[in-house]
Amino acid sequence: MSTVDVSALGTVLAASAGTALVVMLGAFAVGTVKGVHRIVDIAWGLAFAAVAVVGWFLSAGHGDPARRTVVALATVVWGLRLAAHIAWRARGHGEDPRYARMLARAPGSRSLYALRTVYLLQGALVWLISLPVQTDLLLPRPLDVTAALGLALWAAGLFFEAVGDHQLARFKSDPANKGRIMDRGLWAWTRHPNYFGDFLVWWGLYLTACATWPAAAATVVSPLVMSALLIKGSGKRLLEAHMAGRPGYAAYQARTSGFFPRPPRPPRDARHPL
């Protein structure tokens, strides 16, 4: 049989929704006690990892064993790395300016507003974006060429994320770089190697679920939503709006790709010599 067990899929979908909700409610409790709601960014990666683990257990006896393990492990590695990195980066800092601005407009209780517009929304997005993983765990087909291509995309995405984050952290740790724009390494090829990495990771995980046309058609919303968030939503667009006024950022924008990597452009005067 090459199709997903519909009953098992319903169970995994429901359990995944419950898992994402539990993680986000736990994060909300911690954020409310600490008075810092940036904790949700750590919960984002943890929720994806938790959904993959729960789905892996529930898919036993339905999906192909190797496929289940590889897909779940890939999701957990990505989610835990992201959560650990954000937790390390946020240590010693107060509220994220994005959430501070959002909560300043709260029409009533800031905590309830944060619950509705931050935690529950992100929990719903975790469930939606992880649809290829939830489906893939139940596919009885062995890993094939399409899955291999998807895992290659996932690996490339993880490389861009991890290396880009490491390069930026090293740059910021040097006091000599205070006030300067990071334009080295991967950051010379794209202004957002971490967001581009996320983009590749989720298109890769989607591709692994394309073993059947119904699975491909039913889950394509996942990478499309993630792409929209990264490029037009809370990712690239908001960060660039925050960075726009910094000295040197306009020149960096002029020579460096906004998303998809390419070699940096030469300075304008070098391209048009007198």
Give residue 96's pLDDT.
Answer: 76
Give residue 268's pLDDT.
Answer: 61
Alpha helices in 109-235 (DSSP H): 110-114, 120-129, 131-136, 145-173, 193-208, 213-219, 221-231
Q: Residue 98 — very low, low, confident or very high, per pLDDT cuts 50/70/90?
A: confident
pTM of the complete model: 0.91
Q: What is the pLDDT of residues 179-213, one digit of tens each?
A: 899 999 999 999 999 999 999 999 999 999 998 89
Side-chain-side CA neighbours of residue 268 (13 Å): 5
| Element at 36 (helix H, strand E) | none
- Kindly state the average pLDDT of the residues 207-226: 94
Above 70 in pLDDT, residue 273? no
- Kindly state the average pLDDT of the residues 34-47: 93
Give residue 270's pLDDT.
Answer: 47
Q: In 10 A of CB 145, how many CB atoms? A: 7
Q: Residue 235 — very low, low, confident or very high, per pLDDT cuts 50/70/90?
A: confident
- Kindly state the average pLDDT of the residues 224-236: 89
Q: Residue 110 — very low, low, confident or very high, per pLDDT cuts 50/70/90?
A: confident
- Kindly state the average pLDDT of the residues 35-61: 95
Identity (one letter) of the amino acid at 124?
Answer: A
The overall average pLDDT reported for the chain is 91
Percentage, residues of the chain above pLDDT 90? 70
